[in-house]
A = this chain, B = another copy of it.
Amino acid sequence: MVIVMSPDATPSDVDAVVARVETAGGRAFVSRGVSRVIVGLVGDVDLFASLNLSGMPGVGQVTRVSTGYKLVSREQHPDRSVVHVRGVPIGPDTLTLIAGPCAVETPEQTLAAARMAQRAGATLLRGGAFKPRTSPYAFQGLGELGLKILADVRTETGLPIVTEVLSAHEVEMVASYADMLQVGTRNMQNFTLLREVGAAGKPVMLKRGMNATIEEWLMAAEYIAQRGNLSIVLCERGIRTFETATRNTLDVSAVPVAQRLSHLPVIVDPSHSGGRRDLVLPLARAGIVAGSDGVIVDVHPDPATALCDGPQALVEEDLTDLSRTIEDLSVYMGRTNPTRPLRKAS
């Protein structure tokens, strides 16, 4: 931790800072510049954080040098992790496709979407039973009925299920159906939910908050990890900017940045970031070559009747392209597509 004193700090202000740090068991090194004094702290950063040094007289700026997260940090864990979802790996050696309908609507629609996903090479099925919607008048999902449909489709297709949980008190119930629990962008800082999900014993996909810095995202993952669950996959799904041509702005830089800061796998969601079907493939490709460990997309057998996010769902005719993209770029990036035999890019 580094403290920069204000230009008008007095010598006794500096002494008081040093005293507080040393009383708490740390060491403080004072460097006197022409117009400012800098104090470097050595010791337990969390302890220092609790000393409220920024509130002391004469303190200008307090900069935390080490990161606030530990369990998910790559500093402590240089090898990148692999998360397994009912046997399906997500990590540095593979490129995992997760696909399915934005919302579970009917058994038929869900099965049809799952079949589409599977044809495209997906090894995990996504599908929402509980939908967070900006408007209370929009379709809110089928709830537990939707989970039962997903479970039936899993039986039918063999695809493990990734599904969103919205509430701490529903985690246990959702986890009894799901193979992987999704925490959505609006809940990235719902800390109660993060703790419950951390305790549920299932892998978690943590979407980045649409206004969250990468550091806040990793801190949110740390909440889950603290409960003993390190099976966390980070998902970049677009951030909110001033641009209105796309629903959100896919922050493709976040993939390598987060992978350098954390050992956790990072995937991208090109459907929700662009919000437009014609952008899904270009953004999927961009995410993959930026180093993404997987891709999650919406597919729908009939987007014109979709109850949620129809405009961004891929349709049958997009699947061959998607499938080839995943295969070719897996090879290009030196990854194995987990369910497909290798072949050269064409």
Residues on A facing B (Cβ under 8 Å) = 2, 4, 7, 29, 31-36, 38, 40-43, 46, 49-50, 52, 54-56, 61, 63, 65-66, 68-69, 75, 132-140, 166-170, 186-187, 189-193, 209-211, 213-216, 219, 222-223, 226, 239-246, 249-257, 260, 273-274, 278-279, 282-283, 285-291, 303-307, 310-311, 328-329, 331-332, 344-345
The answer for the CA separation of A157 and B291 in the assembled complex, in Å, is 35
A69 to B, closest residue via Cβ: B135
- Selected contact of A304 from candidates B2, B43, B55, B255, CB within 8 Å: B55
Name the distance in Å between A29's Cβ and chain B's nearest Cβ: 4
The answer for the CA separation of A32 and B41 in the assembled complex, in Å, is 9
Is B253 a contact partner of A273 (Cβ separation < 8 A)?
yes
Given contacts A29-B31, A43-B34, A136-B222, contact A249 B240 (CB under 8 A): no
The answer for the CA separation of A65 and B72 in the assembled complex, in Å, is 31
- Selected contact of A42 from candidates B33, B254, B290, CB within 8 Å: B33
Is A68 a contact partner of B226 (Cβ separation < 8 A)?
no
Q: Which residues of B contact A186 (CB under 8 A)?
A: 189-190
Q: Which residues of B contact A139 (CB under 8 A)?
A: 50
- Is chain A's interface secondary structure helix, strand, loop, or mixed overall? mixed
Is A167 a contact partner of B189 (Cβ separation < 8 A)?
no
- Selected contact of A49 from candidates B33, B137, B169, B211, CB within 8 Å: B137
A243 to B, closest residue via Cβ: B213
Is A289 a contact partner of B278 (Cβ separation < 8 A)?
no
The answer for the CA separation of A42 and B36 in the assembled complex, in Å, is 9
Name the distance in Å between A59's Cβ and chain B's nearest Cβ: 9
Across chains A and B, which 9 residue pairs bring their CB atoms closest together, nearest first? A211-B211, A31-B40, A285-B289, A29-B31, A286-B286, A55-B310, A186-B189, A167-B192, A33-B42
Question: Copy number of this protein in the oligomer?
Answer: 4
The answer for the CA separation of A56 and B304 in the assembled complex, in Å, is 6
Is A243 a contact partner of B239 (Cβ separation < 8 A)?
yes
Is B242 a contact partner of A240 (Cβ separation < 8 A)?
yes
A285 to B, closest residue via Cβ: B289
Is B257 a contact partner of A249 (Cβ separation < 8 A)?
no
**Between-chain CB contacts (< 8 Å), 26 pairs:** A36-B66, A49-B138, A52-B303, A52-B304, A54-B311, A55-B310, A55-B311, A56-B304, A135-B219, A136-B223, A136-B226, A186-B190, A210-B211, A211-B211, A211-B242, A213-B242, A243-B251, A243-B254, A252-B282, A256-B282, A260-B278, A282-B291, A283-B290, A285-B289, A289-B329, A345-B345
A140 to B, closest residue via Cβ: B191
Is A219 a contact partner of B283 (Cβ separation < 8 A)?
no
Q: Which residues of B contact A290 (CB under 8 A)?
A: 282-283, 285-286
Name the distance in Å between A278's Cβ and chain B's nearest Cβ: 7
